[in-house]
Amino acid sequence: MPPTATPKENVQFPRFLLLYGSATGQAQAIAEEIAEKAPAFGLSPHLLCLEMTGKRFNIEDEKCIVVITSTTGDGDPPGNAEKFVRRLKKRTLGSDYLAHLHYALLGLGDQNYSNFCRCGKDMDARFLELGAKQFYPTGFADDGVGLEVVAEPWLEGLYPALQKFLGVNSLTLLTEQVEALSIVPSESGDANPAQNKLNSGKIFQTEAVSTNNNSLSTNNNSVDHSNEVKNHEVIISNSFESSPTKIDFTDDRKAAVISDLSSLKQQKEFFDSARTLETPCRLLDISTEDYNLSPLFFSDNNLLEKSLTVPVYPPDFLKAEFSANNVKLQELSHQNDLKLPCAASSVLRVKVTDSRVLTHPDALKKSLLVSLDLKECDMDYRPGDSISVICYNSCSEVDMLLDRLGVSDSADLCMTLTVIPDTKKRRASVPAHITPVTTLRHALTTACNIRETPTKALIRVLLEYTSQPKEIRRMQELCSKEGAQIYTSVVREKRVSLLDFLFAFPSCRPPLERILEHLPRLQPRPYSACSCSQVDKDRLDFVFNVVDLPGRVQEARYFHRRGVCTGWLDDITNGIQAGESEQPIIEIPIFLRTNQHFRPPSDLSQPLIMIGPGTGVAPFIGFLRERQYYRQQMTQDEGYGETWLVYGCRHSKRDFLFKEELQQFESDETLSCLCVALSREEPLEDDKALHCRYVQDYLRRLSSDVAQLLCDKDALVYVCGDATGMAKEVSQAFEYILKQEKGLSDEDANMFIMKKRIHKTYLEDVWT
Give the residues lining the site for ligand NAP (CB under 6 A).
Answer: 365, 527-528, 542-545, 613-616, 618, 648-650, 679-680, 694-696, 720-722, 725-726, 729, 765, 767
Contact 714, 759 (CB under 8 A): no
What is the three-class DSSP state of 262?
helix
Mapping DSSP to helix (H, G, I), strand (E, B) and coil, where does residue 261 land? Answer: helix
Q: How far is the CB of 680 from ligand NAP (least distance, A)?
A: 5
CB of 430 to ligand NAP, least distance (A): 33
DSSP codes of every residue in 429-470: -S-TTS-SEEEHHHIIIIIB-TTSPPPHHHHHHHHTTB--HH
Q: Minimum distance from CB of 547 to ligand NAP (Å)? A: 9
Residue 394, CB-side half-sphere exposure with 13 Å CA sphere = 26
- As measured in angstroms, the least distance from the Cβ of 76 to ligand NAP is 18
Q: Is 490 helix (H, G, I), strand (E, B) or coil?
A: helix
Phi/psi for 233 (5° steps) reads: -140, 155
To 10 degrees, the CA torsion angle through 326, 328, 334, 335?
-10
3-state secondary structure string across 67-112:
EEECCECCCECCHHHHHHHHHHCCCCCCCCCCCCCEEEEEEEECCC
Pairing of strands 139-142, 102-109: parallel
Q: Which residues of 47-60 are buried (b: 16+ CB within 10 A; e: fewer)?
A: bbbbbebeeebebe
Nearer to ligand NAP, 263 or 386 (CB): 386
CA–CA dist 201, 223 (Å, integer): 14
Cα–Cα distance measured from residue 683 to residue 204, given in angstroms and rounded to the nearest whole number: 71
User: Looking at beta carbons only, is 329 or 720 nearer to ligand NAP?
Assistant: 720
State in angstroms the smallest separation of the CB of 380 from ligand NAP.
Answer: 19
Using the minimum distance from each CB to ligand NAP, give the nearer residue, 641 or 648: 648
* Residue closer to ligand NAP, measured from CB, 598 or 752: 598
Please give the Cα distance from 256 to 439 (Å, whole number).
13
Smallest gap from Cβ 104 to ligand NAP, in A, equals 34
Cβ distance to ligand NAP smaller for residue 627 or 650: 650
Closest CB to ligand NAP among residues 236, 730: 730
How far is 756 from 748, CA to CA, in rounded Å? 12
CA distance linking residue 319 with residue 326, whole number of Å: 19
**Element of type H or E holding 564:** helix 564-572
CA gap 469, 507 in Å, rounded: 9
Closest C-alpha to 620, from 530, 710, 715: 530
* Residue with Cβ nearer ligand NAP (245 or 679): 679
Task: CB nearer to ligand NAP: give 112 or 175.
Answer: 112
For the bound state, the minimum distance from the C-beta of residue 242 to ligand NAP, rounded and expressed in Å, comes to 42
Bridge partners for 204 per DSSP:
177
DSSP 8-state secondary structure symbol assigned to residue 242: -
Smallest gap from residue 650 Cβ to ligand NAP (A) = 5
The nearer residue to ligand NAP, 144 or 406, going by C-beta atoms, is 144
- Smallest distance from the beta carbon of 570 to ligand NAP, in angstroms? 13
Nearer to ligand NAP, 144 or 436 (CB): 144
Distance in angstroms (rounded) separating the CA atoms of residues 627 and 605: 10
Are 179 and 228 a contacting pair, CB within 8 Å?
no
Do the bridges between strand 15-21 and strand 64-69 make them parallel or antiparallel, or are there none, so unpaired?
A: parallel
Is-contact 706 676, C-beta < 8 A?
A: no
State the Cα–Cα distance between residues 647 and 698, nearest whole angstrom.
9
- For ligand NAP, the nearest residue by Cβ is 614
| Least distance in angstroms from the C-beta of 738 to ligand NAP | 19
Nearer to ligand NAP, 81 or 763 (CB): 763
At closest approach, how far in Å is the CB of 109 from ligand NAP? 18
Least distance CB 113 / ligand NAP (angstroms): 12
Q: Which is nearer to ligand NAP, 104 or 543 (CB)?
A: 543
Rounded to a whole number of angstroms, the minimum distance from the CB of residue 612 to ligand NAP is 7
Nearer to ligand NAP, 178 or 730 (CB): 730
- Other beta carbons within 10 angstroms of residue 437's beta carbon come to 15
Q: Which is nearer to ligand NAP, 471 or 722 (CB)?
A: 722
Closest CA to 170 of 317, 300, 42: 42
What pairs with residue 141 in β-bridges?
108
At residue 350, the 3 state secondary structure works out as strand
Distance CA 571, CA 578 (A): 11
Q: Give the integer Cα–Cα distance in Å for 321 and 437.
A: 10
Residue 112: how many other CB atoms lie within 10 Å: 19
Compare residues 544 and 558 and give the one whose CB is closer to ligand NAP. Answer: 544
Query: Is 368:358 a contact under the CB 8 Å cutoff?
Result: yes
